[in-house]
Amino acid sequence: MTDDPQSNSASTGPLAESPGEMAESHKGAPPGGIDSQPSGAKERSQLSQARDTILKATAAINKEMGKLEEELARANDRMDNGTLHGPDREKIRQLRDGLRQRLSALKEDQEDAQRRLNHIDLMLRGDAAENALATRRGSQGAALLVADQIREQIAQVAQLWQRFAVLRREDEELRDVVRSVNQARMTEVSTFSWTTGVDQAFASAIAEAIAQSQRSTRDLLARAPVAIIR
């Protein structure tokens, strides 16, 4: 490390495009040339590209600020150690002031880049919300059709269940006939629930499903139609 102020500042000489210039080139215009809610894939792509560009500029700014802060720390150490006098001390003081000004300018660029990133992120989140809302509308529209199909299927089950109940009562009546005429032959035919595989628990579940479907249908018909806004 040398004590020459000029050599200390050489490491931060002009870049092909300095971080400040990169950030400055994106000021004064909306991200990606868009200042409203993105409405399609092209606009979202432009926002994403603008975000990537700003992130690269921010990384370069942070790197440059790190170098300047190291130089400023060295300049402060030389000013504080009491070994510099006269013109040499004045050179270091000027160097230190210049470093502080450059750091201040880069800090402004850094804050501006962060504001722009926040703006882009807000727009992208808004676009994600719009996509989610559109998907919800589509899902609910499809669910309406499925719910109607479920009600139709349960209505068919209800008709079958009525027919099933008629056959069960018929079986009970004929079982009583066999019992009254010749009880010894009762075992020649199995019980109705055993033959059909519909025990009391299963029967209760079917009856409950039918009852709840009918209640739900009545409630649905009694309320205002649901509008799916597209």
Higher pLDDT: 180 or 86? It is 180
Fold classification of 5-137 (topology level): Methane Monooxygenase Hydroxylase; Chain G, domain 1 (1.20.58)
Q: What is the pLDDT of residue 77?
A: 86
Q: Closest by alpha carbon to 167, among 196, 187, 136, 202?
A: 196
Long-range contacts of 180-189 (CB under 8 A, 24+ apart): none
Over residues 83-123, the pLDDT tens digits come to 777 888 888 889 989 999 999 999 999 999 988 888 888 77
pTM of the model as a whole:
0.46
Is the predicted pLDDT of residue 131 greater than 80, yes or no?
A: no
**Could you give the CA distance from residue 40 to residue 152 in angstroms, rounded to a whole number?**
39
Q: Where exactly are the structural domains of the chain? A: 5-137, 139-222
Report the chain's terminal Cα–Cα distance, integer Å: 68
Q: What is the pLDDT of residue 102?
A: 92
Alpha helices per DSSP H over the chain: 5-10, 19-24, 41-80, 86-181, 192-196, 200-222
Q: Please state the separation of Cα 125 from the chain's center in Å.
A: 8
Across all residues in the chain, what is the average pLDDT? 81
Give the CA distances from residue 175 to residues 1, 164, 203, in Å, rounded to whole numbers and listed in that order. Answer: 110, 16, 20
